[in-house]
């Protein structure tokens, strides 16, 4: 089939404008989505008091439902609008919804001021965020792909693929800068609102840019010819010939891509922070370095997929992840394993503080600092409450560990995270072009958005949660420390199944013509 004028390559200046306009908006949407997750602990304290079971229920719902369940629904709602009304107005709408809800989260009074309305409002706004994100990505990827010249679609859509990682980077940067500027105490009290409020300015700029854009040439063409789908949902999912491609996209590519992405970028963070107990700022700094170093590879693998095929690169990324995750995590963990370290006894310290409350209960806080020959430092704080009324059951002592890595340890872990993000760039770089090429223009937005958000939102998004839960479940009375690597079985198994399905069923040839 020959390309028509609608698919003629744009001038590179015009194409870069399209990419910039699409990418900036998508990046800001990811930023908005991630800052909630990055500050979920502070938000939980402000809005979801743990002594109120309803509020605690809403907290869990806000974290999971909005992030994972609502995204595929957003894909259906906005995918349909995008295939009926057009790409441009749909992803303008998702941008406004995301920005508006993020800004509003920054303004909502806490539980102490308005009671149960606070968590209810947060939950509603988080739902809107999830819906908007579900609609955004498909629009941006489709829009860029439909402007891209034949043979370079992988490269140009890879710019959209960088936005998820850069949005995460931006959220880390804004949070760290705000925390440094206002101080930790003020940040936990009110400063956390700043990254949410800042979003409105970013959104305003992005809306201004997007308003100046024209509709996708392919969509404009089918609209002019009267070929726009009347019911994209029915055509996408009630038509066997298309439904089987939706299932193929999900189980042969996106499912594995989702777990590799969320393991490299998010479970790595959870593992370093929770399992290895590395200090808050060190974790964020090493992530920032790894992300910055790995991001250009989205473009490298996107461009390479134009030459050797999407399947080869995506499946290679999955296979590397499956084979090397356990050695990588073992190596990372070795930097926090104090049993294998030699302590410099004379450099350590230990202190005990006792505070007595008005009711006679006393809190004994024991702080010990251990310095090791490799340059790392471990601070252990143990809080024990002795009740004045000895007949009451005593609470379990609370122990908090914080590890400061040595310079060599810091850079080695940053490198190991970089490797994991490199796998992300392999599986995620070509995925937009792969999905766009799988579906026809009239139902492309709807058809590609659903598998994308099930694969990434559900299979991928649940990775840190399921992996951490597996780790917690491995703690027994015989092994109270648990198996730190057991959580990796979830991404390894999911990526393994996806790899086999992809190897068997996916063609490696790229569809050169998306003008249908």
Partner 1 sequence: MNSLKRLSGFIWIALGVAAVFMMARQAGTEISAAITANKAVLDTKMFWYIIIPIFSPIMAGLCLFGWYAWKGEYDVIARDSEHLV
> Of the ranges 239-247, 275-283, 329-337, 482-490, which one interacts with partner 1 (CB under 8 A)?
239-247
Binders of partner 1 among residues 335 to 394 (CB under 8 A) are: none
Q: Tell me: does residue 73 bind partner 1 (CB under 8 A).
A: no
DSSP structure string for 265-331: IIIHHHIIIIIS-B-HHHHHHHHHHHHHHHTHHHHHHHHHHHHH-HHHHHHHHHHHHHHHHHHHHHH
> Of the ranges 103-111, 248-256, 401-409, 475-483, which one interacts with partner 1 (CB under 8 A)?
248-256
Burial pattern 129-143, b for ≥16 Cβ within 10 A else e, equals bbbbbbbbbbbbbbb
Residue 115 to residues 49, 61, 147, 506: CA-CA distances in angstroms? 10, 18, 49, 53
Per-residue mark of binding to partner 1, 192-231 (x: CB under 8 A): ----------------------------------------
Q: Would you state the structure tokens that stand for residue 59, as one six-digit string? A: 């907290």
Nearer to partner 1, 69 or 486 (CB): 69
Count residues contacting partner 1 (CB under 8 A)? Answer: 43
DSSP state of 238: S
Place of tokens 């790595």: 268
> Of the ranges 62-70, 194-202, 259-267, 386-394, which one interacts with partner 1 (CB under 8 A)?
62-70
Nearer to partner 1, 106 or 149 (CB): 149
> Of the ranges 168-176, 296-304, 397-405, 435-443, which one interacts with partner 1 (CB under 8 A)?
435-443
Nearer to partner 1, 290 or 446 (CB): 446
The four Cα atoms 420, 423, 425, 426 give a dihedral, to 10 degrees, of 180
Among 189, 215, 273, 511, binds partner 1 (CB under 8 A): 511
The four Cα atoms 119, 124, 125, 129 give a dihedral, to 10 degrees, of 130
Contact 498, 255 (CB under 8 A): yes
**Helix extents (H) in 403-488:** 407-428, 431-438, 444-453, 463-473
Q: Tell me: does residue 316 bind partner 1 (CB under 8 A).
A: no
The four Cα atoms 36, 37, 39, 45 give a dihedral, to 10 degrees, of 90
Nearer to partner 1, 153 or 210 (CB): 153
> Of the ranges 268-276, 420-428, 483-491, 496-504, which one interacts with partner 1 (CB under 8 A)?
496-504
The H helix count followed by the E strand count for the chain is 23, 4
Among 7, 162, 242, 456, binds partner 1 (CB under 8 A): 242
- Least separation in angstroms between CB 54 and partner 1: 10
| Residue ranges binding partner 1 (CB under 8 A) | 1, 53, 56-57, 60, 64-65, 68-69, 235, 239-245, 247-248, 250-251, 437-440, 442-443, 454, 458, 462, 469, 497, 500-501, 504-507, 509, 511, 513-514, 516
């Amino acid at each position: 089939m020959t390309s028509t004028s609608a698919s003629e390559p744009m001038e590179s200046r015009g194409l870069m404008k399209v990419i910039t306009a699409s990418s900036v908006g998508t990046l800001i949407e990811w930023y908005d989505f991630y800052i909630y997750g990055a500050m979920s602990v502070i938000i939980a304290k402000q809005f979801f008091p743990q002594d109120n079971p309803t509020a605690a229920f809403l907290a869990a719902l806000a974290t999971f439902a909005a992030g994972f369940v609502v995204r595929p629904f957003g894909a259906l709602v906005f995918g349909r609008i995008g295939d009926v009304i057009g790409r441009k107005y749909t992803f303008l709408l998702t941008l406004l919804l995301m920005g508006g809800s993020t800004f509003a989260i920054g303004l909502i009074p806490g539980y102490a001021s308005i009671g149960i309305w606070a968590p209810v409002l947060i939950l509603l706004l988080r739902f809107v965020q999830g819906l908007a994100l579900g609609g955004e990505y498909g629009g941006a990827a489709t829009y860029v792909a439909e402007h891209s010249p034949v043979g370079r679609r992988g490269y140009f859509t890879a710019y959209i693929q960088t936005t998820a990682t850069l949005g995460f980077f931006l959220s880390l940067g804004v949070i760290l800068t705000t925390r440094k500027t206002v101080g930790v105490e003020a940040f936990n009290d009110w400063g956390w609102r700043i990254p949410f409020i800042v979003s409105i300015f970013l959104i305003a700029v992005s809306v201004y840019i997007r308003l100046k854009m024209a509709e996708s040439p392919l969509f404009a063409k089918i609209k002019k010819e009267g070929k726009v789908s009347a019911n994209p949902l029915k055509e996408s999912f009630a038509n066997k010939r298309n439904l089987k491609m939706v299932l193929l996209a999900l189980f042969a590519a996106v499912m594995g891509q989702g777990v590799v992405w969320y393991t490299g970028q998010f479970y790595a963070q959870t593992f370093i922070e929770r399992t290895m107990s590395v200090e808050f700022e060190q974790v964020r700094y090493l992530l920032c370095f790894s992300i910055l170093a790995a991001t250009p590879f989205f473009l490298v693998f996107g461009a390479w997929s134009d030459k050797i095929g999407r399947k080869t690169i995506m499946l290679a990324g999955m296979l590397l992840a499956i084979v090397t995750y356990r050695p990588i995590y073992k190596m990372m963990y070795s930097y926090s394993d104090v049993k294998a370290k030699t302590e410099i006894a004379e450099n350590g310290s230990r202190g005990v503080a006792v505070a007595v409350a008005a009711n006679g209960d006393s809190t004994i806080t024991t702080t010990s600092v251990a310095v090791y020959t490799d340059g790392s430092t471990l601070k252990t704080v143990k809080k024990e409450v002795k009740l004045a009324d000895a007949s009451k059951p005593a609470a379990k002592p609370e122990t908090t560990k914080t590890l400061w890595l040595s310079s060599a340890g810091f850079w080695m872990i940053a490198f190991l995270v970089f490797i994991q993000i490199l796998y992300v760039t392999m599986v995620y770089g070509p995925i937009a072009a792969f999905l766009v090429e799988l579906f026809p223009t009239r139902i492309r937005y709807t058809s590609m958005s659903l598998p994308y958000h099930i694969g990434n939102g559900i299979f991928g998004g649940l990775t840190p949660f399921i992996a951490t839960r597996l780790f917690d479940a491995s703690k027994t009375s015989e092994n109270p420390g648990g198996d730190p690597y057991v959580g990796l079985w979830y991404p390894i198994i999911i990526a393994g199944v996806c790899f086999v399905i992809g190897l068997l069923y996916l063609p490696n040839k790229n569809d050169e013509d998306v003008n249908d």
